[in-house]
Amino acid sequence: MPSLGKRILAAALIVLVLIAMNAYMSDEGLFGFGVPPYFARVIMLAGINVILAVSLNLITGFTGQFSIGHAGFMAVGAYSSAYLTVYFGQAWERSLSGIVGGTVAHIVIFLIAIMVGAAVAALAGLLVGIPSLRLRGDYLAIVTLGFAEIIRIVILNIDKVGGATGFSVPGYTNFLWVGAFAIITIIIVYNIVHSDMGRALISIREDELAAEAMGINTTRYKVLSFVISSALAGMAGVLFGHYTQFLSTNDFQFIRSFEIIIMIVLGGMGSLTGAVFGAIVITLLPELLRKLPGDASKYRLVVYSAMLILIMLTRPQGILGTREFGLSWLKRSRKRPEGTQPAGATGVSIAEQGKPSSLDEKKEAENL
Amino acid sequence: MDTFVQQLINGLTIGAIYALVALGYTMVYGILRLINFAHGDIYMVGAFVGYFLAFQLGYATGPSLVGLAVVLVGSMIIAALVGMAVERFAYRPVRKYSRMTTLITAIGVSLLIENLFVARLGAAPRAFPQLLREQSYTLFGNAAISKSQILIFAVSILLMLLLQWIIFKTKVGTAMRAVSFNLNSAKLMGINTDAIISITFALGSGLAAAGGVLTAQYNPQIDPLMGIITGLKAFVAAVLGGIGNVPGAVLGGLLIGLAETFVVGYGQNIGVPSTFRDAVAFAILILVLLFRPTGLLGTTVQEKV
């Protein structure tokens, strides 16, 4: 465990880097160096996607519960916080500025919005999770999809948050917030994974029945990780909404959930660094496709799907599998808690053909 | 009373379509324990293949029963081939991996088909040519049934009887039932399971394509994303009836069709907006999975450790 001094130093360094990057990306630039707003946008979206990917990885990669409704929780967070900032934000900010000054008021209001977004998303996660998490993989996927659609349709019918025409939202987000919360998310998930709870989650992923037999309350842990994952997604939603400054339910359709899925599949479902990596790559992909001649950008989704199939055919555990890519002192000082098999190849195979290994042959013999 | 009969007719009409598509889902799940997410898109492919066949073979100019038959059978055959290709190249290689991997692959295939069509053909809806001389008949007073609705009933009943015959009265059908019972035992009995799986996919895809063409005839707007919502509802229908159970799929399909029509039809009086039509199927799914996950006609399977 690195010493307290070292950790404070690291934290201070990170904060400095964030502030620098934020200034770098703003209109005035950092000491005269700036980036075109286009790059800034990509970086911001990458940051938000990192939060989404890492949070989905908690429930899908580490707990093994296949949830394809993540966009629904993002939407819940975005809309609930937007309701606050649009209808109450101005008034609160005015009254608060009188006491603590403009910038602090601004920060406090947004912080409250983020907390509210996360809390409401967590509640949604609880409501969705409790009935759904008793279902097996395929069904759970469909049900989460269904719930995300229901959430979307319900929001679409609420006129107070814009309904079909969309909802204009004040722009609170800047890179400082996105970067800070991305790092916070990574820290939260990292700490969960490297704790007792993390071990429980991984054991649930590896073999739920065995975990239950070992006395782990699988329902409790599944619901807990689902709720935390939804809360983080809600947070990402708040940041997203207050960045694009316009909310429309079209941003939260199944395709969004699918994009997050492909981020973690690409990076490796059991790997934190994989999720971050996947998020960044998938955010960059549309931009890279734009560089191609012709009208290649409309093939973006075709490329995603083809990529997904190819990954599944050739390397289902993703690029990093369950390995982490980190600083060596992280690796040496902490034991990696994940199982030894890549996430994509565990579990009972469909035709019970299994990978050629003596254990599987015994299983096959027993099943006949 | 008239509205009731009208709703009944309309409900059974979409129900029949859902049933045709649900049969494909349930058969594939029965043998592979795989939810073929791409199945709804085969339905869409069937409609589009029918569309292009109609134009290529010159039937688009005017209503023609022969044209309809040719387009229907043609699209069923082509869709069957597509289904077999999907199974051969996308599902067979990942059969040995975990459920999540195959599920993700299925989603990938589904999105690939949809987006390929959108990228090449554009997402705008197209008008399917009228191959049937449309006519409306009245029943029980004010209820109307159109020729295309009668066509849907006739063709789907015919296809379902055909499927029933195949499954229970032919060797191939017996083999299919054996494979869905226990794949490894079937292999030991000398059944070429790969071939049977391909045939199952072919049959399911053919039925879905028939559903696609029939729907296109009934509701002439086709677009590349029409398979998503219908596919999802057909899946719910299969689950409702008991996934893996063939009569269950038919029952489920009809029930979902009826539920959807009645909720929207009568719900308007109590303030349920018609946009909730799609939510009905999801709500039913959630209820089924909560209270009777094996479906109406399904049997509980004990999970062995």
Q: Is A350 on the interface with B (CB under 8 A)?
A: yes
Question: Which residues lie below 8 Å from residue A62, measured CB to CB, with a gap of 6+?
Answer: A193, A198, A201, A202, A205, A225, A270, A338
Give the pLDDT confidence score for residue A15 in this predicted structure. 81
Contacts of B206 (CB under 8 A, 6+ apart): B76, B77, B79, B80, B83
Residues of B numbered 17-46 whose beta carbons fall under 8 angstroms of chain A's beta carbons: which are they?
Answer: 32-35
- Any domain includes B195: yes
Give a yes or no: residue A341 inside a domain.
no
- Give the list of residues 6+ apart from residue B266 with CB closer than 8 angstroms, or none: B7
pLDDT, chain A, mean = 80
In a domain, B141, yes or no: yes
CA torsion angle A181 A183 A189 A190 (round to 10): -170
Count of CB pairs separated by less than 8 Å, A with B: 150
A297 compared with A251, residue with greater pLDDT? A251
Residue of A nearest to B122 (CA): A298
**Mean predicted confidence (pLDDT) in A338-365:** 41
| Partner residue facing B104 (CB), from A139, A308, A352 | A308
Contact A314, A298 (CB under 8 A): no
Long-range pairs of B260-269 with CB within 8 A, sequence gap ≥ 24: B260/B11, B260/B14, B260/B233, B261/B7, B261/B10, B261/B11, B261/B14, B262/B7, B262/B11, B265/B3, B265/B7, B265/B10, B266/B7
User: Domain for residue B270, yes or no?
Assistant: no
What is the residue whose two structure tokens read 């990292």?
Answer: A190
Asked if residue A90 is part of any domain, the answer here is yes
Residue A263 has pLDDT above 70, yes or no: yes
Whether B111 is in a domain gets the answer: yes
**One pLDDT digit (tens) per residue for chain B, 305 residues:** 567 888 888 899 999 999 999 999 999 988 888 889 899 999 999 999 999 988 888 777 777 788 888 899 999 999 999 999 999 999 999 888 877 788 889 988 998 999 899 888 888 888 888 877 777 877 777 778 888 888 899 999 999 999 989 999 999 999 999 998 888 899 999 999 999 999 999 999 999 999 999 999 888 888 888 888 899 899 989 989 988 888 899 999 999 999 988 888 777 777 666 667 777 888 888 888 878 878 888 776 655 65
Residue B33 lies in a domain: yes
**Predicted confidence (pLDDT) at residue A57 exceeds the cutoff of 70:** yes
Residue-level pLDDT at A361:
39
Chain B residues within an 8 Å CB radius of A138:
34-35, 99, 103
Interface of A with B in 39-98 (CB under 8 A): 64, 66, 68
- Report yes or no on B304 lying in a domain: no
What's the pLDDT at B204?
Answer: 94
pLDDT at A286: 79
CATH of the domain at A59: 1.10.3470
Cα-trace Rg, chain B:
19
Give domain status of residue A184, yes or no. Answer: yes
Residue range of the domain that includes B221? 2-227
Nearest to B114 by CA among B40, B61, B173, B218: B40
pLDDT of residue A28: 59
In B, residues 100-159, which contact A (CB 8 Å cutoff)? 100-105, 107-112, 114-116, 118-119
Fill in the amino acid letter for A212: E
Q: Residue A360: is its pLDDT beyond 50? A: no
Q: What is the pLDDT of residue A326?
A: 60
Q: How much is the CA Rg of chain A, to the nearest whole Å?
A: 21
Q: What was the pLDDT predicted at A3?
A: 80
Residue A364 domain-assigned (yes or no): no
Given CB atoms, is A150 within the 8 Å cutoff of chain B?
yes
What residue of A is the nearest CA neighbor of B291? A131
What is the structure's pLDDT at A118? 95
Q: Which chain B residues contact residue A350 at CB under 8 A?
A: 32-34, 95-97, 99, 102
A109 has a pLDDT exceeding 60? yes
pLDDT digits (tens, 9 = 90+) for A192-209: 999 999 999 999 988 888
Tokens found for residue A343: 């996430």
Structural domain count, chain B: 1
**Which pLDDT score, from 0 to 100, does residue B219 have?**
86
With a cut of 60, say whether residue A341 has pLDDT above it: no
* A359 found inside a domain: no
Whether residue A126 has pLDDT greater than 80: yes
pLDDT at A295: 63
Of A139-143, A235-239, A280-284, B296-300, the least confident = B296-300
Is the CB of residue A290 less than 8 Å from the CB of residue A301? no
- Residue B251 inside a domain? The answer is no
pLDDT for residue B202: 95
A119, A170, A321, B184 from B94: Cα distances, Å:
39, 47, 17, 17
Cβ under 8 Å to B: A residues 182-241: 209
* Domain-located, residue A333: no
Which residues of chain B are within 8 Å of residue A297 when distances are taken between CB atoms?
none
Read off the pLDDT of residues A270-292 as tens digits, 9 standing for 90 and up.
889 999 999 999 898 877 777 77
Contact A39, A249 (CB under 8 A): no
CA nearest A145 in B: which residue? B282
Instruction: Give this prediction's pTM.
Output: 0.81
Asked if A339 is an interface residue toward chain B (Cβ–Cβ < 8 A), one would say no
Is A34 inside any structural domain?
A: yes
Residue B266's pLDDT is 77
The answer to the question of residue B167 being in a domain is yes
Asked whether residue A260 carries a pLDDT value surpassing 70, the answer given is yes
Q: Which domain holds residue A30?
A: 9-253
pLDDT at A327 over 60: no
Q: What is the structure's pLDDT at A71?
A: 94
Domain count, chain A: 1
Q: What does the alpha-carbon distance between residue A210 and residue A84 come to, in Å, rounded to a whole number?
A: 45
Residue A199 lies in a domain: yes
